[in-house]
Amino acid sequence: MAMNGSLAGWRVAITRPLAQSGDAVARIARVGGVALCYPLIDIVLRDGDAAFLQAIATPVDVWVFTSVNGVRAYVEGVKWLGSGVFSGQAAYCVGTATANAAKAVGFSVQVLPKVASAEHLPDVMGEAHRHRHRILLVRGNLADAALPRRLTQMGYEVNEAIGYETVTTDAADDLFLDACEQRVNAIAFYSGSAVKALLAGREQSLPLDCVLATVGPKTAEAAREYGYAPQVVAATASTVALVDALTAYAKRL
């Protein structure tokens, strides 16, 4: 399928929300492929939710964002409160995309974990400091409890704010059918939620030659739970890394 080390001839399914797919579509096109959008999930911000607004209004010392959506939700939430994002506030982030989003609204992003995964974030944060121990953790409704639990064990006072909800769409059946009928060559997953949306409850299996590409080990782990071993696992949680890894895989075919 690959020509001259590119993705020429490849049709790659992008499974993230449409509003976040533009970079992947453009990058895949630059290496000769065709990106097909199947938004398996959508993100609904809870910016006007009373519980969320109360959580982000509570004074804290450090902000923690595990995704770009968390940053978006926080920014919209402070708009509801009629306040602003204060320049220079310390934030810890998972992944470069999240860090860039936080920097863009004025946060001073601290060191990033080497592995773009929430479970590795405490490794770079260290034990809680006496004068900077209150954390606002902004995340989604499907995030597990491992991160806040570990931060609490380390001595932090964690204030969780559920800033957005991940909901499924009706695109899963279309993508599954197109993959089975070989109208797509590869499927790019950006989250375990998208993996579940496509694969949960299926009696039929995807074709063996359908390439599964994931961002990071957590998403790859989600695919394995449904019996699939992704051929491509990007080292970091970014579109650049995902497309680079997919292109490298294509070169080896």
* Confidence (pLDDT) at 127: 67
User: Helix 50-57 vs helix 68-81: angle between axes, to the nearest 10 degrees?
Assistant: 90
Rounded CA separation 69/29 (Å): 25
* Confidence (pLDDT) at 3: 44
Q: Is 7 exposed, middle or buried (0-12, 13-18, 19+ CB in 10 A)?
A: buried
Integer-rounded Cα radius of gyration of the chain: 19
Per-residue pLDDT tens over the stretch 29-79: 999 999 999 999 999 999 889 999 999 999 999 999 999 999 999 999 999
* Confidence (pLDDT) at 85: 61
What does DSSP assign to residue 87? T
Residues in contact with 49: Cβ distance below 8 Å, sequence separation at least 6, in sequence order: 162
Please tell me the pTM assigned to this model: 0.81
**Residue 86 — pLDDT band, cuts 50, 70, 90?**
low
Per-residue pLDDT tens over the stretch 93-120: 988 889 999 999 999 998 888 777 788 8
Per-residue pLDDT tens over the stretch 140-159: 998 888 999 999 999 999 99
Could you tell me if 6 and 250 are in contact, meaning their C-beta atoms sit under 8 angstroms apart?
Answer: yes
Average pLDDT, the chain: 91
Domains of the chain: 11-40+169-252 (3.40.50.10090), 44-166 (3.40.50.10090)
Spell out the alpha helix ranges (H) of 15-95: 22-30, 50-57, 68-81
* Confidence (pLDDT) at 1: 46
Rounded CA separation 119/113 (Å): 9
